[in-house]
């Protein structure tokens, strides 16, 4: 009891000292010139200590951001744990960010799991902006995913379509429904794997199916460690442990693909220097005719004159970027497009009649036919407007920015809500309606292209970090949909409503459908022309 007596005196002393310090600070500051006011941040909803606004986020996140913008405006500031973020939800704000601050927001935030699968940001997607990134970007845009390579690998994509059509034809013969969600993901992954390594053994391609799905699932998972410092290192969700196992298996698969390609190249090319020099003198078109993406990467890795040396980790990370970014988004876009056409029979009729008039029934429509199928391409653009594969473009600022008379601090995550911009009534008449006619000649959006130059329609992002695979998507996605529409009539599996539900999934990075797309096919072209030789 005797030790308890000094406590009130000690507390009183602490209070007195604190008041004296505050008084002295006020006296000193009053004699100095007034300090500038704190920077004006964009409007923000009420937050909580430690977690900030994490409690407000409900999947799918792009819809939550859209709701916040409806209350607070097109530029909103939020805090996810310790990470400061701004969300842009209008074309005007996106234009100001990309036109006025593109270099400042050219960074990409890298999560703990993304760092693992990108080999410490060795790939294109997460490499910091600088010479290494510019080299990889140039390699990606001009060669790996450039127009010439996309054209060269058209037969590979064409061949990958055959198993999909055969699976649907077999289901039609049995009178069964098809899980198109599953079949389209399988087709998309197989197509991209074959583009990466066209001569990969079938066992490797089959193994890649499950691993790619596992990697994309982990990269799209919300990891509390990335936002709340108190949780770092604890692996409360078990994601690090799961990712480590998947990464080991995926790395072994990539090594198997690279070694198989190296052995094939060594076997097909004699080792003497004179023959190699003669081989290099061949016309580029001749040497490139049968090159896949891994051939191009290996050739660049062996280029001693290159400004930046391409390492094995760069190649693995590059392949990971391509297969994870392209597989889910391509499959989801074909699925959304078919679902929209099912719910809009008049649009389906126009697409099918256009294909029949241009292609006929003696062969299966292909990518070479797309320039003569304007309504199909309009339906593709309208699908991208309503259901962009990546609904949010994610960047990070490297310096302070002034946007909309507000200050955005450095190291702020920048979210551009592509999904909300595509549905903005300021730019789109009847924005929630599926109307491909708006992209046809004479339509209000006839001049718009999805390559990032038009900020009211940027399904592939824009600026330096815009998606480099736009050209590939514009070829492969509508061609796959066209083949499904040309070859089969479709009916909703349950037959009750006749309509396909359009609910969105609340997991992953891709704007996917919530429920599997189950449709009952009936063959229109039976037997399918040249199905075996596709």
Which CATH number fits the domain that encloses residue 242? 1.10.630.10
Is residue 516 situated within a structural domain? yes
Give me the pLDDT at residue 140, please: 87
**C-alpha distances in angstroms, 430 versus 70, 423, 435, 439, 441?**
17, 9, 9, 14, 18
**C-alpha distances in angstroms, 189 versus 116, 182, 192, 216, 335?**
21, 11, 5, 11, 14
Give me the pLDDT at residue 181, please: 95
Is residue 531 situated within a structural domain? no
Is residue 119 situated within a structural domain? yes
Strands 488-492 and 518-523: antiparallel
Give me the pLDDT at residue 212, please: 87
Give me the pLDDT at residue 307, please: 77
Is residue 27 situated within a structural domain? no
- Strand partners for 178: 519
Write out the residue range of the structural domain in which residue 195 sits: 54-523
Q: How many structural domains compose the chain? A: 1
Give me the pLDDT at residue 135, please: 86
To the question of whether residue 467 is assigned a binding role by annotation, the answer is yes
Local confidence pLDDT in tens for the 534 residues of the chain: 333 333 334 334 333 444 444 455 544 444 454 555 667 899 999 999 989 999 998 989 999 999 999 999 999 999 999 999 999 999 999 999 999 999 999 888 888 899 999 998 888 888 888 888 888 888 888 888 899 999 999 999 999 999 999 999 999 999 999 999 999 999 999 999 999 998 877 777 788 888 888 888 888 888 888 888 888 888 888 999 999 999 999 999 999 999 989 888 887 653 333 334 444 444 444 445 578 999 999 998 888 887 788 899 999 999 999 888 888 899 999 999 999 999 999 999 999 999 999 999 999 999 999 999 999 999 999 999 999 999 999 999 999 999 999 999 999 999 999 999 999 999 999 999 999 999 999 999 999 999 989 999 999 999 988 998 999 999 999 999 999 999 999 999 876 667 999 999 987 778 899 999 999 999 998 777 865 445
Is residue 38 situated within a structural domain? no
Q: Are 451 and 419 in contact (CB under 8 A)?
A: no
Is residue 266 situated within a structural domain? yes
Q: Are 110 and 126 in contact (CB under 8 A)?
A: yes
Is residue 26 situated within a structural domain? no
Give me the pLDDT at residue 36, please: 56
Is residue 34 situated within a structural domain? no
Give me the pLDDT at residue 236, please: 85
Query: Model-level pTM?
Result: 0.88
By CB atoms closer than 10 A (0-12, 13-18, 19+), residue 364 is: buried
Beta strands in 253-404 (DSSP E): 392-396, 401-403
């Amino acid at each position: 009891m005797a030790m308890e007596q000094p406590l009130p005196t000690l507390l009183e002393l602490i209070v007195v000292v604190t008041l004296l310090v505050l008084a002295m600070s006020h006296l000193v500051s009053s004699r100095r010139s007034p300090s500038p006011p704190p920077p004006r941040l964009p409007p923000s909803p009420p937050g909580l200590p430690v977690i900030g606004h994490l409690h407000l986020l409900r999947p799918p996140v792009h819809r939550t951001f859209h709701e916040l913008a409806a209350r607070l405006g097109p530029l909103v500031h939020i805090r996810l744990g310790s990470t400061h973020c701004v969300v842009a939800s209008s074309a005007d704000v996106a234009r100001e960010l990309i036109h006025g601050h593109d270099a400042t927001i050219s960074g990409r935030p890298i999560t703990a799991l993304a760092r693992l699968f990108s080999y410490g940001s060795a790939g294109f997607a997460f490499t910091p902006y600088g010479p290494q990134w510019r080299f990889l970007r140039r390699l990606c845009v001009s060669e790996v995913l450039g127009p010439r390579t996309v054209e060269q690998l058209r037969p590979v994509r064409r061949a990958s379509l055959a198993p999909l059509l055969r699976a649907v034809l077999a289901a039609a013969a049995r009178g069964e429904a098809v899980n198109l969600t599953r079949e389209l993901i399988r087709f998309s992954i197989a197509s991209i794997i074959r583009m990466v390594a066209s001569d990969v053994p079938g066992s490797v391609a089959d193994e890649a199916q499950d691993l790619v799905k596992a990697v994309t699932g982990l990269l799209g998972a919300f990891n509390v460690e990335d936002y709340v410092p108190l949780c770092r290192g604890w692996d409360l969700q078990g994601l690090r442990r799961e990712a480590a196992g998947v990464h080991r298996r995926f790395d072994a698969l990539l090594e198997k693909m690279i070694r198989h390609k190296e052995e094939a190249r060594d076997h097909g090319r004699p080792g003497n220097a004179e023959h190699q020099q003669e081989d290099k003198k061949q016309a580029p078109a001749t040497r490139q005719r049968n090159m896949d993406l891994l051939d191009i990467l290996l050739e660049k890795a062996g280029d001693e004159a290159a400004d930046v040396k391409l390492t094995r980790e760069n190649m693995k990370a590059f392949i990971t970027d391509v297969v994870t970014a392209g597989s889910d988004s391509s499959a989801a876009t074909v699925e959304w497009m078919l679902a929209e056409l099912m719910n809009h029979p008049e649009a389906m009729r126009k697409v099918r009649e256009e294909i029949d008039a241009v292609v006929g029934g003696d062969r299966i429509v292909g990518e070479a036919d797309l320039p003569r199928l304007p309504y199909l391409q309009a339906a593709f653009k309208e699908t991208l407007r309503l259901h962009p594969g990546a609904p949010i473009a994610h960047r990070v600022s490297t310096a302070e920015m002034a946007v909309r008379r507000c200050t955005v601090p450095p190291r702020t995550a920048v979210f551009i809500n592509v999904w909300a911009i595509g549905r903005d009534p300021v730019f789109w008449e009847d924005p929630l309606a599926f109307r491909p006619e708006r992209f046809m000649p004479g339509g209000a959006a006839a001049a718009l292209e999805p390559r990032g130059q038009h900020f009211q329609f940027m399904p592939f992002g824009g600026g330096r970090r815009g998606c480099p695979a736009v050209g590939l998507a514009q070829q492969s996605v509508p061609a796959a949909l066209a083949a499904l529409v040309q070859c089969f009539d479709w009916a909703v599996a349950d037959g009750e409503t006749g309509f396909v539900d359009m609910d969105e999934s609340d997991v992953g990075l891709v704007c996917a459908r919530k429920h599997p797309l189950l449709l009952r096919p009936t063959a229109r072209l039976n037997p399918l022309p040249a199905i075996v030789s596709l």
